[in-house]
Chain A
Amino acid sequence: MTVLIQAILDGICVGAIYGLGAMGLVVIQKSSGLFNLAQGMLMMAGGFVAAQAIDSLGCPMWLAVTLSMLVMMAVGFVINLLVIRPLLGESVFTQLMATIGLLSILYGIIMAIWGTLPRVYPSEIIPIGDLRLGEIVVSSTYLNGFLISVIGCVVLTLYYQRSKEGLAMRATSEDEQLAASAGIRVTKVLQLTWMIGSACAALAGVLFGMLGSVTYMLGEIGLMAIIPVMVFGGLESFVGALLAGLIVGIVTMLAGAYLEVALPGIMTIVPLAIMLLILLFKPYGLFGEERIERI
């Protein structure tokens, strides 16, 4: 029973981080209809930038996270300008391959700068102690991850719902042509979404890194964790992403608690297996709109 509750609580915390990571993808997908396979690398870059800020500037954790988010915003700006804008309106395959090329470039740059040595963050963002409920202990890093992810998700959703820019983004995702004729600068909106998406990736990357360490594997691990969440949530829904993140997190942690002994390494496969099943039986996810194809 303790194992069960422990796994579920851990799963909720990890799942919230998955949800935040997937939201970065959702932001970009919503406005440009482009699936960013380089998101994992952006996460890893964010994690490394924060670690580097702590190492060389000696700044506290919260400042390092903010810095890393700002740096990644700039990176997102550059990516949009150099890669995404020239390929607007091309086929799905072309855009996917462009993000794959981006993935490769980012991976190369990160490996060249930071190499294969893992980095560990010295402290948490919000200094709260471990949560103890009898035998169940939810560690402080997990709680941090949960709280910050939930705050991030709420802020992002509110921004989308209430602000003028959010309205522009929603309008663009609804119909690009119509939005443009209503006086919305679609290119500006795309720029903004790439910056927000990258900042989201940086935050999620730091939170991922806090669970263990920031390594050169984080990019692939992170991507493999957030893609299933995004597909499960239905590609274009924030609520879906968060909810799917929680479900995937809990199932993964349960698998880790009960199956890891018999089948080592099963935890990395569980989210992907969930995704395969969802793709087979409910391809539009929890909150996705079913698209009717026209010729």
Chain B
Amino acid sequence: MDPAGIYRTSYEEDFSIIRTKLQWAILISAVILAAASPWYLPGSVVNVMALMCCVIISTLGIQILTGCAGQISVGQAAMYGVGAYSSAILVGDYGFPFLVSVILSGIVAAAVGALFGVPSLRLKGFYLVMATLAGHHIIIYVVSHAPFTGGMVGHKVPYPSIGPLIFDNGSKLFWLNFSFLLLMTFFAKNITRGRWGRAFIAVRDNDLAASVMGINVFQTKILAFAVGCFFGGVAGALSAHFVGMIHPTQFPLIDGIWYLGYIIVGGLGSITGCYFGVIFFTALKEVIARLPLSMAVAHYTQPMTDVAFGLVVILALIFDPRGLYHRWELFKAYYRIWPLAYR
């Protein structure tokens, strides 16, 4: 929402991300504020934020795949795992440089994702959910039993390094993940507002009409799977280097389901919505984990998180199906003319 007096006179301007100097100032100061957080926030919070960056990247992928292209997938956690294992093996066993390995992991995940996107040619709605569900379990089975992944023992992952720079503590890893987050958000935003994004939205809204308009529906669906899973793979690779040790049980089906919850609560089809959804749920999780409970009831933390997640998703579906992003837009429209609203 632009301030009063700013008019859009061309298509490029209408689709531009940032229009005014004030928006530039807000964006830059927000980025600097976030990047400086290791200096004013405790280490545990910075660790949570570093992992949250990975989760947001992965959620961007599922937002493009499910929110924009309408292909519901519960297999994003498996893609996260594919990315994590690819990077662990490439860097740990074959000595690839970190940056190359992150991109390769994304490409591996994209290839696997495109393969599991093939059923989307014939399947829609919950049939596709079933196919991705099967895909998730098959991928995790392969990962747990293949000879090159370390199986159920797990796989060690070295610290990431770029040239002589080694990212070996929480705040350095946070800066690494944060810069990847900025980069991937920029990619995601540009994909959704470009030609691909328009094709995705056309396929989501009505695939027959899309094909009449000259969009190759099958190709677009596979592309959506590849792009979405690329994001998942990159996020998984980053998280593997952050955690340092990966294991098949770190990628449960429930994580793939949570990603869908993030985009529902954040707002379907919106890149900003991913941030809202993930930050909201991470904050919720951390608040529940830090509630002053006595030791006797501490084992209720995880169950309570699950219940809270389910409740929030159902309440969001019933009362606020357009998500937090929509609320944010309403809020911006409100404060634009506050306190001199003309009625």
Contact = CB atoms under 8 A, between A and B. Distances in A.
B261 A272 contact: no
A101 B321 contact: no
A177 interface: no
A279 B317 contact: no
Contact of A231 (B130, B144, B254, B260): B130
B138 A101 contact: no
Given A93-B125, A100-B257, A108-B305, A276 B310 contact: no
Interface string B241-270: 000000000000110010011001000000
Interface stretch (B12-20, B86-94, B180-188, B295-303): B295-303
A276 B304 CA distance: 34
Contacts of A273: 134, 138
A105 B125 contact: no
A178 interface: no
B141 A268 contact: yes
A87 B309 contact: no
Contacts of B209: 295
Contact of A108 (B137, B144, B304): B304
Contact of B313 (A97, A109, A228): A97
Nearest to B252: A220
A96 B123 contact: no
B134 A275 contact: yes
Contacts of A266: 141
Contacts of B314: 83, 98, 101-102, 105
B49 to A, nearest CB: 24
A108 B126 contact: no
A263 B125 CA distance: 33
Interface residues of A, number: 44
A93 B128 CA distance: 11
A94 B137 contact: no
Interface string A77-113: 0000001001100101110111011111111111110
A3 to B, nearest CB: 23
Contacts of B138: 269, 272-273, 276
B318 interface: yes
A242 B114 CA distance: 34
A2 B34 CA distance: 67
B210 to A, nearest CB: 12
A160 interface: no
Interface in B279-334: 299-300, 302-314, 317-318, 321
A216 to B, nearest CB: 10
B72 interface: yes
A35 B74 CA distance: 15
A175 B103 CA distance: 51
B201 interface: no
A265 B309 contact: no
A227 interface: yes
A130 B309 CA distance: 45
A98, A103, A108, A110, most chain B CB atoms within 10 A: A108
B137 A272 contact: yes
Given A265-B144, A269-B141, A97 B264 contact: yes
Task: Name the residue in B129, B144, B260, B303 with the highest tally of chain A Cβ atoms < 10 Å from its Cβ.
Answer: B303
Interface in A170-229: 220, 224, 227-228
Contacts of B313: 97-98, 100-101, 104
A106 to B, nearest CB: 8
B134 A105 contact: no
Nearest to B125: A92
A283 interface: yes
Main secondary structure of the interface of B (DSSP, over half): helix
A28 B118 CA distance: 29
A115 interface: yes
B317 A87 contact: yes
Contact of A265 (B129, B145, B257): B145
Interface string A31-67: 0000100000000000000000000000000000000
A273 B130 CA distance: 11
Nearest to A116: B299
B304 A112 contact: yes
Contacts of A96: 72, 125-126, 129
A252 B109 CA distance: 29
B145 A227 contact: no
Interface string A277-295: 0011001000000000001
A127 interface: no
A207 to B, nearest CB: 23
Nearest to B126: A35
B123 A279 contact: yes
Contacts of B176: none
B33 to A, nearest CB: 33
A111 B307 CA distance: 10
A154 B281 CA distance: 45
B122 interface: yes
B191 interface: no
Given A86-B318, A112-B300, 12 more contacts: A94-B321, A101-B309, A103-B310, A105-B306, A108-B303, A224-B133, A265-B145, A266-B141, A269-B137, A269-B138, A279-B130, A279-B134
Interface of B: 66, 72, 118-119, 122-123, 125-127, 129-131, 133-135, 137-138, 141, 144-145, 206, 208-209, 253-254, 257, 260-261, 264, 299-300, 302-314, 317-318, 321
5 contacts: A103-B310, A104-B306, A110-B303, A112-B303, A266-B141
